[in-house]
Amino acid sequence: KSLFSYYQKLLNNGNRNEIFNSLSFYIIVPTIKSCYTVLGILHALFKPKYGRIKDYIAIPKANNYRSLHTAVFGVNGVSTSFQIRTPQMHKIDEFGILSNIHKFSAINPKRASSVIKEHVKWLQKILNISDELPSDQKFLDNLKMDILQNRIFVFTPHGKIIDLPQGATVLDFAYAVHSNIGHKALKAEIEGVEAPLTAELKTGDTVKVITAEESCPRLEWLNWVKTADAKHKIKAYFKKKNIEECCAAGRDLLETELKHLQKIDVSKISESKIKKALKTFGVDSLDKLLIMIGRGEIMPKDVISAIFSKEEVLAGRTFFPYKKSQNALYPIKIIIIFEDRIGLFKDIASTISRFNVNISGVSVKTSPEKSKSSVMEMTLEVKELNQLIDIFAALKQIDNIIDVRKK
């Protein structure tokens, strides 16, 4: 290991004794079969450490890194880690994913082409992130989040492995399989159990996406995808709409969010607040702002945050705000209209808990209307406007939820 490698480990771990009282080795063997043979020999000689065995040969990393990792209690109990790989795997690790292209290009051009396609899918992800983000810093932040963070490996019903960043949802999975699967996604089955499109996935899940011809992307999906690839495809869908459609869609989306929060429409917002929002987003008319929403370039919640302070919205006094401390929690009453089913309350509670929000009160009553629907009133302790809007969007993805709004 190089000095820089130890420096990186110090930054990540911070425990000098653990880092310097350990050994690391590369073991280079001729074939993949030999890699697994060596792993078996090492575990026969030394006791392996729990949770330290990683098979990146069967399931490569996003950048096509392949190797077997293990750590054992070595001679005299010294922690010893091994990376077992073939010469080709080692070359890719040392010199990059295109290091073997020249080997095939002269001998077999078709093979070179297939190797390129196999190795550079993740480079397209980087390009997609670059296209979507205006600043270098945001590009780097999203690159770390989408490409370089911890990965999960999820399976299609046919056993195909889909590589996604940790925290990815069913929607990310659907778009990774195919754009049309994402666009037409309705719900999913995870390990045979029905789940909403917003459900977070974990390594080993087998996911079946259920589609419907009438289903189409919704702008709020941008809140629930983690990958740049999925965001890019959703935004591309909305950009294909004409200007009038985008303006109308943007108005509907903004008024829907306003209704959920305050029961006011765009026409009742003061001119000074509209001008404030126009200045924030660098446009000179309300129509242009609505078109940006309709195209997926900005989210309704971003516009609401530009128009109103969180105190104005969360305190429920749109024109008479009061200030609270920076870390204040706001008790917000919300109304959930639903058709009852087994497990619905569990789904609601677990969805809200994902946002680290406390439910301080719950009451349920039958709807006064002659229908099968019921009404649940909840009191949530929230600290941010965007947090509340995201909760609304997540709850609306749950089966049997008819509507969600602020009381």
Domains 3-95 and 124-234 share a fold: no
Region of 391 on the Ramachandran plot (φ > 0 left; ψ -120 to 50 alpha; else beta): alpha
Q: Does 230 have pLDDT greater than 70?
A: yes
Helix then strand then coil, in percent of the chain rounded to 5, is 45, 20, 30
The per-residue pLDDT for range 271-319, each reduced to its tens digit, is 888 888 888 888 888 888 888 888 878 888 888 888 877 666 655 544 3
Any idea which fold 330-406 has? Alpha-Beta Plaits (3.30.70)
For residue 322, what pLDDT is reported? 40
Q: Does 219 have pLDDT greater than 70?
A: yes
Q: Does 13 have pLDDT greater than 70?
A: no
Apex CA 93: angle with CA 91 and CA 96, to 5°? 80
For residue 325, what pLDDT is reported? 52
CATH of domain 124-234: 3.10.20.30
Average of pLDDT values for 59-68? 81
The per-residue pLDDT for range 323-360, each reduced to its tens digit, is 445 567 778 888 898 888 888 888 898 888 888 888 88
Q: What is the rounded CA–CA span in Å between residue 253 and residue 120? A: 37
What band does 31 get if pLDDT is binned at 50, 70 and 90? very high
DSSP secondary structure code for residue 370 in this structure? S
Structural domain spans, the chain: 3-95, 124-234, 241-308, 330-406
Region of 9 on the Ramachandran plot (φ > 0 left; ψ -120 to 50 alpha; else beta): alpha
Average pLDDT of the chain to the nearest whole number = 79
Q: What is the rounded CA–CA span in Å between residue 359 and residue 380? A: 5
Percent of the chain surpassing pLDDT 90: 17
Strand order in the sheet with 401-406: 358-366, 373-382, 330-339, 401-406
CATH homologous superfamily of 3-95: Beta Polymerase, domain 2 (3.30.460.10)
Q: What is the rounded CA–CA span in Å between residue 12 and residue 30? A: 33
Burial 209-235 (b: 16+ CB within 10 A, else e): bbbeeeeebbbbbbbbbbbbbbbbbbb
Apex CA 256: angle with CA 128 and CA 339, to 5°? 105
Average of pLDDT values for 247-254? 85
Q: What is the rounded CA–CA span in Å between residue 293 and residue 287? A: 10
For residue 131, what pLDDT is reported? 56
**Largest CA-CA distance found in the chain, in angstroms, rounded:** 77
The strand pairing partners of 25, in sequence order, are 82
For residue 34, what pLDDT is reported? 95
Q: Does 109 have pLDDT greater than 60?
A: no
